């Protein structure tokens, strides 16, 4: 038996990427129409094979400074409709 390294990958949709696209790269809270666009992009990604949505909880700027609760929850409802998962990443580490 040949020994080697198994590599597992799962495609995720990046929340910040689609949020920026929906808000036209403006750093502010999304409007209702933009949240709908985010959900549409998530739905499209899930239908094209993504298995979930990835979100960063801690990063500058803090998501709560530029996003409200609905911008996080509404896309996750779409993910749930497709049996997907949330991939949470934490990137708030600081090194001196």
Tell me if 30 sits within 8 A of 19, measured CB to CB. Answer: yes
Element (H, E) at 81: helix 69-81
C-alpha dihedral sign at 32, 37, 40, 45 = negative
Q: What would the two tokens of residue 32 be?
A: 């209702």
- Whether 96 is covered by a domain: the verdict is no
Q: Is the peptide bond before 3 cis (omega within 30 degrees of 0)?
A: no
Residue 81 lies inside a defined structural domain of this protein: yes
- Count of structural domains, the chain: 1
The answer, as to whether pTM is greater than 0.95, is no
Instruction: Decide if 45 is inside a domain.
Output: yes
Domain region containing 21:
12-89
* Average of per-residue pLDDT values in the chain: 84
- pLDDT tens digit sequence for 47-58: 999 999 998 765
């Amino acid at each position: 038996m040949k020994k080697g390294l198994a590599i597992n990958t799962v495609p995720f949709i990046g929340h910040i990427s689609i949020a920026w696209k929906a808000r036209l790269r403006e750093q502010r809270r999304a409007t209702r129409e933009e949240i709908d666009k985010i959900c549409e992009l998530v739905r499209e990604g899930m239908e094209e094979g993504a298995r979930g949505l990835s979100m960063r909880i801690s990063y500058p700027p803090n998501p709560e400074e530029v996003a409200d609760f609905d911008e996080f929850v509404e896309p996750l409802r779409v993910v749930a409709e497709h049996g997907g998962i949330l991939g949470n990443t934490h990137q708030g580490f600081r090194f001196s």
